[in-house]
Amino acid sequence: MPFMFKSLLIIIFTLYLGSCTSHSQSDHTSKPTLVKHTRELQKRRPDQWVFDQIKGQTIYFKNGKQFTTNLFNLHYIGQLNTENKDPYLIISGTNCNECDENLSVFIHFPSDGPMQSEAEQTRYNYPGNERDYMNGQLNFSARMFYGNCDPNNRSVVWLQKSLNDNAAFEYAIFKVEVVDDRLQESMKRIDLKTYKSFRPLCHELPGIDVTSEP
């Protein structure tokens, strides 16, 4: 075989191998880039309202969101989901610091803006037993449930009894639920048998013993 022909074959074969190697390396390196991009996208899609911590009067969530309240002794309890909006936050606290006000439960939608003033913001009873600060008589008792209490999973329920003017206890179920992405309240009177047998399958917030506010 002539020398020039052999040299030509060697050059063509060398170029072919180089092309194959380059193509193979290109295919190999493109996959990690795609995986990395996917992971970066996943990191940008965290749940916006996963509770992280409380500092002072502000609640912090894990993706950097935060909500500043006007409450002292602030605690995060949970949330009520909606169909098309951010969730309602279930929190507790007092409107003043180191005062005689008892803990209350608040249900607030952050997109509505800051919490309202003490006179305008709705307060709900913190669960537990409340006794008269003068004579120690039991005036009110409540258990509070939230979460999967109803089929729509968007309600907070109080099972409560309160002393009436005739010194007898009245029993009721008070409910706050999300209907069409808005809060709706309802009260249902019940008898003692229903009161004793009421056991909703959802979270219960432990109660505390307090005296009535002066």
Confidence of residue 201 (pLDDT cuts 50, 70, 90): confident
Residue 39, SS3?
helix
Distances, alpha carbon 132 to alpha carbons 126, 129, 159, 175, 210, in Å: 16, 10, 20, 25, 9
Q: Where are the alpha helices (DSSP H) in the chain?
A: 3-43, 192-197
pLDDT at residue 200 above 70?
yes
> What is the model's pLDDT at position 118?
86
- What would the pLDDT profile of 39-74 be if each residue is shown by its tens digit? 333 343 345 789 999 999 999 999 889 999 999 999
Domain locations in the chain as residue ranges: 1-45, 51-211
- What would the pLDDT profile of 95-125 be if each residue is shown by its tens digit? 999 888 999 999 999 988 999 988 899 999 9
> What is the model's pLDDT at position 47?
54
Here the tokens at position 30 are: 């493109």
Q: What is the pTM of this model?
A: 0.75
